[in-house]
Amino acid sequence: SHCLTRNGMADEGFLHVAAAAIGTTEPALRVLVLLLSGVPLSAIYNIAIAHHKSVLQHVFFFLSGLSLSYFGFGLGCFHLVATIVASYLILLVAGFLNQRAIGAAAVSLFTMGYLIWGYIENATESYDVDWTTPHCVLVMRLTGFAIDYYDGVAEAAAPAKPSKGKPTPAIKTLPNLLEILGYCFCFCGVTVGPQYSFNTYNALASGTLVKSTSGRFTTALSRLLLGLLYIVVLAVLGGQVPFEYVYEEKFLADPLWYRIAYIFVAGKLNLMKYIGVWLVNDASCVFSGMGYSGETTDGKTVASWDGVSNVRPYVYETSITLKGVISAFNINTNQWIMHYVFKRLRFLNNKHLSMIGSMFYLAIWHGYYVGYFLTFALEFLTLMVENALVDRFSLPQSPALYYPTVVGAWLVRNMVLSYSMITFVGKDLQRSLAGQAAVYYFVPVLAAVVLAVLTNFVRKPKRDADKAKKTE
């Protein structure tokens, strides 16, 4: 619990003992307590706060989120306050000078620079849980906010229509500091996300977001219980298959098949913590109303609550493609990157360059370690392989071939994800290379070979061109 001690908090106490008893770290346990606290806070909000004026709601969101942040990260939470206030002043001056574009760029660079400084100051070999954890969420929140403020100029000239029950993100006039503090510290997303626009938050605080509460409690409860199930499974099995073993010398003494199988299982378990955390957090998003996304009509009108969901467990677990995983895992971050980075790079006139730029942003957002860049480089490579395969082949129609192909594809995409954890968890270059060398870099090597063979020796079928002509 070094990071909490650094932030001015004692490392002894009930949580310290409890964390040691269940085989985790005190910072990690604190994060879980923070997320679980969102459920009673949502109840307090609905019962005592939601029907009052928006200014009281902003105060509640700010103070409750600040209190949670102090509990979780000690005095480090004031780094968040300082970043928010400085960003507000930048946009205030930029708006006064009618230079919103410069303001958006300045906020983006300032918040990311502050985060990288925090990473350097708090760097350790293991995955860190300190004030930089909520600060990386804040970077995207304030960067998106600044860009939405810039987009507000065009929005004022040509208003866009709301989608999925949520208001458009563009901000025409700069909100006051209290509103921005409430937005950034809202307990629904202050610790691990998700990302949502200021206008969505403000609609909740002004009482215009939620049109129906049908199914809210059962949806929140089901996501809470499923998230806790993931966390319990990880707690029980994670200690038996620790990913750190991959970097130890004795790992090399195991047979190659065992090393590959070990990485497959350990990587799968390592990813479960993200799913569990997001599901638990989504419970408070749904219960508070932030997750409201309109109503669906299928025989009867029912409220939908996936507005800010960060994971779709069934799709994630059953998908046989990496694209399917991306659509169901870390959803809000992927959507944020698409809207605020990928589409903003359209001037490059090249989707591959825009994708590289987006993945570079994601890598530096996670930290300055080489391992993060290697992780997203592998993602780019394997997505290119997947696209090449999909362009040239389709699933067989015969059941005798269809089911083995689906199972094989599922195993391959899980292997790719688990393999990527070698560099993501390893972080530095030495550990990242050592972990991959233990299995002879087989995933990137095979991916490069397959891509080279497909692009040079296997032509795309003409069926797509023929279909396009018929459509025309």
* CA atoms 394, 400, 406, 409: torsion sign: negative
List alpha helices for 295-440, DSSP H: 313-318, 322-326, 331-337, 351-366, 370-392, 399-426, 429-437
Q: Can you tell me which residue has the tokens 């930089």?
A: 132
* Residue found under tokens 């688990």: 418
Q: Is 234 helix (H, G, I), strand (E, B) or coil?
A: helix
H or E stretch covering 116: helix 100-121
| 219 touches 213 (CB < 8 A) | no
Would you call 394 exposed, middle or buried from its count of C-beta atoms within 10 A (0-12, 13-18, 19+)? exposed
Nearest 5 degrees, angle CA 392-CA 398-CA 400? 115
Pair 328, 307: CB distance under 8 Å: no
Euclidean distance between the first and final Cα of the chain, in Å?
Answer: 63
The C-alpha atoms of residue 3 and residue 162 are separated, in whole angstroms, by 42
- Active-site positions read 330, 366
- Count Cα atoms within 13 angstroms, Cβ side, for 243: 28
Strand pairing category for 301-303 and 295-297: antiparallel
